[in-house]
């Protein structure tokens, strides 16, 4: 897994990126002129309603979408926060870069006590330092991260940090979290590309199994992953940031590929994420869930097993 100069690389079976520097330049220039889309009615749960809905189900196992790749997952009384990004800009400098156009389902100050945080990789829209620095009781929170991401998390004030290589696990009482491969990359600045690992995760708790994709492309490894770790009750899958394909699909899923991952993992219920929050690519912002739902139907998933949340919505699992 390690290359020279201590850099990580993807597992076999992924897609090679073929996109010129010229095209990349204009891709990022376009992001400066993006305008937020009109949002569907009821897409954003009113804050008070979102908080009330969460606490009405506080004795249940639940899943709450806060936007992008950030979920609250409650299992056996423990609250897990995934890929924290609850501020306005996924960038190192506030006010620079693409701006969030959908507010968090529950803002930082109203979050319930967090027991565990899972971070898939170090990109700013998945590992937001401003979000992480504002969470209370850092000394009590277990943070599960891929290899070499712990140093950054420690700087933010966390003490209970668990770095995992692919196929390694961390267990706390009846919850086990496995770090699994992903086709992606890491980069925090010009000098840190692939110096920390990236991962997807499997969460197991008393026969309930949840897959969290983080950011990943599609590839042959998912078939083996489904054989070794499936079936899953829920697969939380990235469905946005796929256009232009020759630039984005080597590190992200299209909606149709997300469904293929779910099928490979033998997932009973597919859960959409990584859309409807911030503009990172060229596709129309409200296109991903439509394509995802259509692809899932073609793959013989029924309506009740295709989960497309409103932001702030909580569902029992």
The 10s digit of each residue's pLDDT in 139-193 is 999 999 999 999 999 999 999 999 999 999 999 999 999 999 999 999 998 888 9
Dump the DSSP string for 196-230.
S---EEEEEETTEEEEE--S----THHHHHHHHH-
pLDDT of residue 2: 47
Its CATH class, for the domain covering 47-316, is: alpha beta
Residue-level pLDDT at 19? 62
CB burial class (10 A; 0-12, 13-18, 19+) of residue 246? middle
Note the pTM of the prediction, 2 decimals: 0.95
Whether 32 shows a pLDDT value over 80: the answer reads no
Per-residue model confidence (pLDDT) at position 15: 83
Query: Residue 17's pLDDT band (boundaries 50, 70, 90)?
Result: confident
Is 305 buried (19+), middle (13-18) or exposed (0-12) by CB count in 10 A?
Answer: middle
In this predicted model, which residue has the larger pLDDT, 33 or 269?
Answer: 269
């Amino acid at each position: 897994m390690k290359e020279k100069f201590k850099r990580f690389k993807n597992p076999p079976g992924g897609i090679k990126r073929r996109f010129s520097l010229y095209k990349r330049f204009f891709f990022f220039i376009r992001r400066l002129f993006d305008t937020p889309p009109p949002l569907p009615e009821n897409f954003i749960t009113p804050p008070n309603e979102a908080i009330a809905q969460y606490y009405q189900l506080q004795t249940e196992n639940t899943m709450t979408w806060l936007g992008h790749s950030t979920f609250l997952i409650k299992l056996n009384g423990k609250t897990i926060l995934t890929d924290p990004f609850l501020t306005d800009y996924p960038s190192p400098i506030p006010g620079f870069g693409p701006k969030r156009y959908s507010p968090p389902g529950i803002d930082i100050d109203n979050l319930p006590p967090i027991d565990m945080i899972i971070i898939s990789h170090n990109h700013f829209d998945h590992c937001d330092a401003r979000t992480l620095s504002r969470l209370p009781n850092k000394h009590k929170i277990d943070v599960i991260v891929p290899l070499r991401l712990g140093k950054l998390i420690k700087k933010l004030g966390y003490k209970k940090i668990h770095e995992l290589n692919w196929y390694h696990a961390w267990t706390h009482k009846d919850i086990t979290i496995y770090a699994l491969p992903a086709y992606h990359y890491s980069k925090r600045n010009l000098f840190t590309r692939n110096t920390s690992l990236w991962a997807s995760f499997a969460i197991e708790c008393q026969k309930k199994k949840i897959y969290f994709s983080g950011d990943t492309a599609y590839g042959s490894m998912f078939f083996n992953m489904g054989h070794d770790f499936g079936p899953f009750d829920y697969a939380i899958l990235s469905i946005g940031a796929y256009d232009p394909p020759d630039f984005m699909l080597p590190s992200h899923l299209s909606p149709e590929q997300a469904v293929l991952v779910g099928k490979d993992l033998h997932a009973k219920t597919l859960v959409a994420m990584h859309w409807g929050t911030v503009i990172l690519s060229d596709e129309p912002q409200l296109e991903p869930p439509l394509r995802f739902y259509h692809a899932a139907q073609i793959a013989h998933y029924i309506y009740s097993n295709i989960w497309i949340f409103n932001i702030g919505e909580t569902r029992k699992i």
